[in-house]
Amino acid sequence: IAEQYQGIRPAPGYPACPDHTEKGTLWSLLEPETRAGICLTENFAMYPGAAVSGWYFAHPDARYFGTGKIGRDQVHDYAERKGWSLKESERWLAPILGYEPE
């Protein structure tokens, strides 16, 4: 498929946005369950499976990036901002933890 789109389309759960729970933010803003019949499972998987979600940034200089591994101090800070326990943050951010949780 040829397209002329200039920008990026990162999505929750992918390297630039590893926290799947941010789909909940999209759901509260866009109401896709009532508008399109797309729902989230308890683990933030979308149903039906062909559904996609993300943020669109239209700019020719926009580039994808991955967060890389993060330290305990970063996870602690993120937990505070999300209103989560450290353990809950470690659960959702497990693939990018730069340390072994206790």
The answer to whether the beta carbons of residues 55 and 11 sit under 8 Å apart is yes
pLDDT at 3 over 90: no
Q: How big, in percent rounded to 5, are the helix, strand and coil portions of the chain?
A: 35, 10, 55
Task: Determine the pLDDT at residue 32.
Answer: 96
Residue 90 to residue 102: CA distance in whole angstroms? 10
| Burial (CB count within 10 angstroms: exposed 0-12, middle 13-18, buried 19+), residue 12 | buried
The answer to whether the beta carbons of residues 67 and 78 sit under 8 Å apart is no
pTM for the predicted model, two decimal places: 0.81
Residues 17-68: tens digit of each pLDDT: 999 999 999 999 999 999 999 999 999 999 999 999 999 999 999 999 999 9
pLDDT at 1 over 60: no
